[in-house]
């Protein structure tokens, strides 16, 4: 039943917030969306424009097991989706390794002696597996051998998460590399990429992509919301969530010029970081809930976008950099995502991704130094001569990935229990729920939240990231992709 005339306040104009805003507006709600960024919608799925070039914050494929989400995308951009051939490789010792694995390519690049050592290491691991299997390093070494672990898993994983692989939980490896071993990887390379007859999501060969980048999807959604009477207020950072008698009564924010604003509604959907949501409550939540929120951690990253003149340096959409001697973690080549994103013929735009923590040396480096670092590392790797780089810019992304630290589940349980007592507050999305959801999973949490406003009884914490969506199902919470968790300590 439509709630025409009732007000909904949404915090955050990323995929979750905009999906909620659009669906609620269509259902008759008077919607206002607050977005902290002064210019871009889309959150981490935005597309940045600079000097005539468009580039992603990371690369965002549009592929989902949910027919509903896929249809939602197509309705927004019926004529602007292109089909992109997926190509991604691993770069190690100045050589490209096909990903997914192609045995002869890997053996050829590694050389005879190293290949023999890898096979011997794998055989040793099968005969004498590590016991107990507690860490990421243990789990992968047992299934691929120590030599292949060191080559293809250790360096990149430690760059991304900033945590030694020996301190990462084996549970995370089991979920992220589910059902895969060296023997299965070799078998898949010859038989095709299927799992019980279904496509393995990480191994799809083609995917849909907006012609002008993922930001095009969210820019169109924002325009659709406005055309239906909704409002999006940019540059507004939430500072207080005022509540009384088990309900939120208003949200206060600060504009970019320091001017305070206040917003009242009947219902509130928040996709801002869960840690910030808890900290904003006025009066404060319980000391236990505040302490739990303070323990939540995030992994941040920055993109150094470089315009490169001349021949396209490589055909990949993205490359994983496994070289231990550079800080660079991954490279996107946006011309290979969509040529329409490139502002000038005869050039391309490379997105160099550096994983870091807010406030560390990388994060605080001046843009000019980061651009020079990117140019230098491209040249050191032998991928692009620094003289070919004609321009560059830097985009920093706070709280890009929620991290699962020791006791994370306990902290989240405390927070969820307390927020459950606030009847008109709904948290959605990756940061809103502190869960490493994909874009489509974040959207589904928003879709279900709006259905709940309309009288539904869906448990959005049960949106499952690796299977079909089990809307409203009970049982164990298996939703969201796992994040790295440290090996448990103590008895």
pLDDT tens digits, 2-59 = 456 799 999 999 999 999 999 999 999 999 999 999 999 999 999 999 999 999 988 8
Mean pLDDT, the chain, whole residue set: 88
Residue-wise pLDDT for 363-374, tens only, equals 999 999 999 999
> Whole-prediction pTM value?
0.87
In which band, very low, low, confident or very high, does the pLDDT at 388 lie, cut at 50, 70 and 90?
A: very high
* DSSP, res 335: G
pLDDT of residue 491: 46
Burial of 208 (0-12, 13-18, 19+ CB in 10 A): middle
Instruction: Quote the percentage of the chain above a pLDDT of 90.
Output: 69
Q: How far is CA 21 from the centre of its chain?
A: 21
**What would the CATH number be for the domain defined by 297-403?**
3.90.660.20
Average pLDDT over residues 370-395: 97
Residue 83, beta-bridge partner list: 208
DSSP codes of every residue in 408-425: HHHHHHHHHHHHTT-TTE
pLDDT of residue 474: 33
Average pLDDT over residues 155-182: 75
Residue-wise pLDDT for 276-332, tens only, equals 999 999 999 999 999 999 999 889 999 999 999 999 999 999 999 999 899 999 999
- 7-45+66-77+213-295+405-462 architecture in CATH? 3-Layer(bba) Sandwich (3.50)
Residue-wise pLDDT for 49-75, tens only, equals 999 999 998 888 898 888 999 999 999
DSSP three-state, residue 45: helix
Q: What are the start and end residues of each CATH 3.50.50.60 domain in the chain?
A: 7-45+66-77+213-295+405-462
In which band, very low, low, confident or very high, does the pLDDT at 469 lie, cut at 50, 70 and 90?
A: very low
pLDDT of residue 403: 77
- Asked whether the bond before 296 is cis by omega within 30 degrees of 0, the reply is no
Positive or negative CA dihedral for 384, 88, 444, 482? negative
Please check the confidence at residue 387 and state whether its pLDDT lies above 50. yes
Alpha helices in 2-99 (DSSP H): 15-26, 67-76
- Pick the closest to residue 305 from 205, 213, 167 (CA basis): 213
Average pLDDT over residues 242-247: 97
Inter-residue contact 419 to 350 (CB < 8 Å): no
Query: What is the rounded CA–CA span in Å between residue 4 and residue 186?
Result: 57
In which band, very low, low, confident or very high, does the pLDDT at 422 lie, cut at 50, 70 and 90?
A: very high
The dihedrals phi and psi of 201, each to the nearest 5 degrees, come to -55, -40
pLDDT of residue 236: 97
The three-state (H, E, C) secondary structure of 100-163, written as one string: CCCHHHHHHHHCHHHHHHHHHHHHHHHHCCCCCCCEHHHHHHHHHCHHHHHHHHHHHHHHHHCC
Please check the confidence at residue 239 and state whether its pLDDT lies above 90. yes
Residue-wise pLDDT for 88-122, tens only, equals 999 998 999 988 767 778 878 999 999 899 999 99
In degrees, to the nearest 5, what angle opens at C-alpha 482 toward C-alphas 480 and 483? 125
Which has the higher per-residue pLDDT, 130 or 200? 130
Please check the confidence at residue 216 and state whether its pLDDT lies above 90. yes
Q: What are the start and end residues of each CATH 3.90.660.20 domain in the chain?
A: 297-403
Query: 94: left (phi > 0), else alpha (psi -120 to 50), else beta?
Result: left
Inter-residue contact 73 to 221 (CB < 8 Å): no
Residue 461, beta-bridge partner list: none
pLDDT of residue 432: 95
Inter-residue contact 116 to 91 (CB < 8 Å): no
pLDDT of residue 50: 95
pLDDT of residue 361: 92
């Amino acid at each position: 039943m439509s709630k025409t005339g009732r007000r909904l306040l949404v915090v955050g104009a990323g995929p979750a917030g905009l999906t909620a805003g659009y669906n609620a507006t269509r259902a008759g709600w008077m919607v206002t969306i607050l977005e902290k960024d002064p210019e871009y919608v889309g959150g981490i799925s935005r597309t940045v424009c600079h000097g005539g070039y468009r580039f992603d914050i990371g690369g965002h494929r549009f592929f989902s097991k949910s027919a509903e989400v896929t249809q939602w995308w197509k309705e927004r951009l019926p004529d602007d989706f292109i089909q992109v051939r997926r190509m991604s490789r691993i770069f190690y010792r100045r050589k490209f390794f096909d990903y997914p694995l192609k045995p002869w390519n890997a053996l050829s690049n590694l050389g005879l002696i190293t290949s023999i050592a890898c096979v011997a290491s794998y055989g040793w691991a099968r005969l004498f597996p590590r016991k107990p299997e507690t860490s990421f390093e243990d789990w992968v070494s047992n299934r691929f051998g120590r030599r292949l672990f060191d080559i293809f898993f250790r360096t990149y994983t430690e760059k991304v998460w900033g945590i030694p692989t020996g301190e990462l939980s084996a549970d995370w490896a089991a979920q992220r590399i589910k059902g895969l071993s060296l023997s299965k990887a070799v078998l898949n390379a010859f038989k095709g990429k299927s799992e019980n007859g279904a496509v393995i999501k990480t191994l799809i060969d083609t995917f849909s992509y907006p012609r002008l980048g993922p930001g095009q999807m969210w820019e169109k959604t924002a325009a659709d919301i406005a055309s239906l009477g909704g409002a999006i207020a940019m540059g507004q950072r939430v500072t207080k969530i005022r509540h009384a008698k088990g309900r939120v009564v208003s949200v206060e924010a600060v504009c970019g010029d320091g001017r305070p604003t206040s917003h009242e509604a009947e219902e509130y959907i928040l996709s801002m970081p869960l840690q910030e949501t808890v900290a904003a409550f006025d009066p404060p939540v319980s000391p236990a809930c505040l302490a739990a929120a303070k323990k939540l951690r995030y992994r941040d990253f920055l993109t150094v976008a470089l315009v490169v003149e001349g021949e396209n340096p490589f055909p990949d959409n993205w490359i994983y950099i496994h070289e231990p001697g550079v800080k660079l973690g991954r490279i996107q080549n946006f011309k290979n995502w969509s040529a329409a994103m490139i502002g000038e013929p005869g050039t391309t735009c490379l997105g160099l991704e550096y994983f870091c923590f807010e406030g560390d040396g990388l994060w605080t480096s001046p843009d000019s130094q980061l651009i020079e670092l990117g140019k230098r590392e491209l040249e050191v790797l032998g991928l692009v001569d620094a003289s070919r780089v004609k321009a560059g810019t830097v985009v920093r992304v706070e709280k890009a990935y929620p991290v699962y630290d020791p006791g994370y589940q306990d902290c989240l349980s405390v927070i969820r229990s307390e927020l459950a007592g606030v009847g008109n507050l709904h948290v959605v999305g990756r940061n809103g729920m502190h869960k490493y959801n994909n874009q489509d999973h974040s959207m589904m949490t928003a879709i279900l939240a709006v259905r709940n406003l309309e009288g539904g009884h869906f448990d959005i914490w049960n949106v499952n990231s690796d299977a079909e969506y089990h809307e409203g199902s009970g049982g164990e919470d298996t939703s969201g992709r796992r994040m790295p968790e440290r090996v448990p300590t103590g008895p």
